[in-house]
Amino acid sequence: MARKKIALIGAGMIGGTLAHLAAKKEMGDIVLFDIAEGIPQGKALDLSQCGPIEGFDARITGTNDYKDIAGADVVIVTAGVPRKPGMSRDDLLGINLKVMKAVGDGIKANAPDAFVICITNPLDAMVWALREFSGLPHEKVVGMAGVLDSARFATFLAWEFGVSVRDVNAFVLGGHGDTMVPVTSYTTISGIPVNDLAKIRGIAPEKLDEIVKRTRGGGGEIVALLKTGSAYYAPATSAIAMAEAYLGDQKRILPCAAYVDGKYGLDGLYVGVPAVIGAGGIEDIVEIELSDEEKSNLKVSTDAVVELLDACKAMDESL
């Protein structure tokens, strides 16, 4: 059976990391696409030379021509510009919306049957715009944010409780912005609700609030430290987990920016919700019971996403 084909649109910090992870895991052949000449080709050549050392067989190529993504099974989109210190994710909207138009056209023409994972920020708006521009079915276009935000939440919890990160199952819903909703009522450590373990361990509720706050600011914390860009190792790792769930028909329930129409009181919005990822793409959205506070926090988050969509529509009348 022929190898799967993974196309990475954007060969920057996340794109290169995606390629390395996908190659190490032998997920398939990899095409790195970018508008910058030489970058995708150079990174593809460098990554290929890891093969004899790491022991993976994967054809890794770089290109500036969308025709080379033809027939891709998975397309992961990081094309665009990242934040610099002092910038919000929303500040990227104008530039990255135009990029999504070009990327959407490229996917529509060359890889219409792919499962598309969008990473480009502002994520909830960019994944919606990418779906509109590409015309792919809603269940085949998803945004990566919740897996990353939940991993940040889980890391901070594991540090505070002094437990293995393997045992923390954290849930962050809503938009990928300062209004994201870490859902402590569905967060467990070895199946123990985190609020219960906090009481057992004598960890004050204020400490958990601090961790929720640090999770919300997790992206900005790294941008401030790096100064020249944003996080890329954990974002890439998160998108790879989503791609594996699709390619392996794993039926994982992951927090993803999926298209919600009816559930959670939403009609026609991409926002972070528990989504089942399998061979059909987004196969189901799980509508969990939320506390009143969590419901109102989710409303604030989805209202912020609607504002971004309105800004996108104002910039591009085809939306």
Q: Is position 35 an interface residue for ligand TXD (rule: CB under 6 A)? A: yes
Q: Does 31 bind ligand TXD (CB under 6 A)?
A: no
286 binds ligand TXD (CB under 6 A): no
Residue 247 contacts residue 104 (beta carbons within 8 Å):
no
Q: 24: which DSSP letter? A: H
Torsion sign (Cα): 211, 215, 218, 220: negative
H/E segment holding residue 184: none
Residue 316 to residues 93, 94, 176, 311, 312, Cα–Cα distance (Å): 12, 10, 22, 9, 6
Task: Determine the interface stretch with ligand TXD among 95-103, 129-137, 162-170, 310-318 (rule: CB under 6 A).
Answer: 95-103
Q: Exposure string (b/e) for 247-276, b if CB count within 10 Å is 16 or more?
A: beebebbbbbbbbbeeebebeebbbbbbbb
Tell which residue, 25, 81, 19, 20, has the closest CA to residue 245: 25
Active site residue 20: no
List 8, 79, 107, 309, residue binding ligand TXD (CB under 6 A): 79
User: Given the rule CB under 6 A, which of 32-40, 152-160, 278-286, 298-306 is the region that contacts ligand TXD?
Assistant: 32-40
CB of 80 to ligand TXD, least distance (A): 4
Considering only 4, 7, 8, 15, the residue that binds ligand TXD (CB under 6 A) is 15
Q: Which of 176, 208, 246, 305 forms a contact with ligand TXD (CB under 6 A)?
A: 176
How far is it, in rounded angstroms, from Cα 106 to Cα 248? 25
Residue 179 CB burial class (10 angstroms; 0-12, 13-18, ≥19): middle
Applying CB under 6 A, which of residues 48, 110, 121, 134 lies at the interface with ligand TXD?
121
Q: Which of 19, 144, 254, 285 binds ligand TXD (CB under 6 A)?
A: 144
Q: Is 220 within any annotated ligand binding site?
A: no
Q: What is the amino acid identity at position 201?
A: R
Q: Which residues sit at the interface with ligand TXD, rule CB under 6 A? A: 9-15, 34-36, 39, 78-83, 92, 96, 99, 102-103, 119-121, 123, 144-145, 148, 176, 229-232, 235
Query: Among all residues, which ones are annotated catalytic?
Result: 176
Indicate the annotated binding residues. Answer: 10-15, 34, 83, 89, 96, 119-121, 152
